[in-house]
Chains A and B, each alone.
Chain A
Amino acid sequence: MTDTLERMVGDWPPEAGEAARRTAERYGPPDETMPSRLVWNHARPWKRVVVNRDAPEHRFPQPHQDRIEGWIDLAVPLESAADLAAFNGSIRVERTRGELAASCDVEAVNFLAVNLAHDLVTGRIDVDEARREYTEMVAGHLLGRTQPYTSGIAFEPLTAGAGTADAGEPFAPYAMPAVPPRASGRRP
């Protein structure tokens, strides 16, 4: 496995190759391999883990590159979409699929991001509190502090197909009004 993985990431930037190695040590060989990304499906507790060769720069809470994506099933209410984006631009919501992803350079911080995202959409904290707790706990992690929110998913993630997908509603151009005009006693 090691030789195979080394061939896959041989021409990747060193940090990306290291992220792939750490992920493979934890979850075994990837299920899907492409030149720019490796995918682990059902890498519990994640629904999916993706390691990318090419990663964007992210400065929050400190400069790093988003190389590892951790995906879970999570239903995100419509009204929470903007709050999640304001909390952390590296959280992606796929509402139709019922999935949420966090991207960072280490898995522990992805755990933290989805835990605080869950707290945000369930109302325990607001955006400012989420950013403050994220900042403090990432700093603690960098200093070697063991914390539940960086050690795993602190809520019960749903299994695939558990009902987080949101297929939306067809557009209804001729929807009947709640109170029919004639029932109001008025005539046009």
Chain B
Amino acid sequence: MHITEGVAPASVAAAGALLAAGGVALGLRAMKDEQIPRAALVASAIFVASLVIRLPLGPSSVHPVLNGLAGVLLGWAAMPAFLVALFLQALLFQFGGITTLGINTVTMGFPAVACYYLFSRRIRESKKGREAFLLGVAAGVTALTLSFVLWAGSLILSGKQLAIIVKLSLLPHLAIVTIEGIFTGFIVGFLARVYPKAFEMPHIIKTRSDP
């Protein structure tokens, strides 16, 4: 899922950086002081998940992104969480890159925000654990599928061939989408049962009007 250094031309990298900067600014604005520790926790989980869990599928390997979970837990604050996690991954392990940091943040962060709008409220209002589990599965699947689309789009804009991308990466991504969907479902179902406040996140517009 990470696009490495040198793959994207300067124009695509700059566009990604601009979009990411906008998203991160909105995320920082939406984040309340008491939500910062949660953002740090989720950023750590994102950082560690792709290091520890690696499934040897496709030409290399696939790893969980956890952007569905980050989205329903953090909302717009998922953007700075992804920025920090991806920056450290690039710095310490050469996953992705510094010049492609913006693209990677957009690829993984914006689907998380989309999942927040699509599923967070429904999860909060869900009465049964099974309903929360299914909504969590849907969030995980939707976020990673959107990420795959954005990732493939970035590569196509960088001059890569769609046929090769689809041929080599579709099946491995389908596998990780399934696994991550189920994983997100379990976490969301568990949190909805024991700590439903985890999904209470102020809307960005509401945050602006807060004193």
The answer to whether A and B belong to the same complex is no
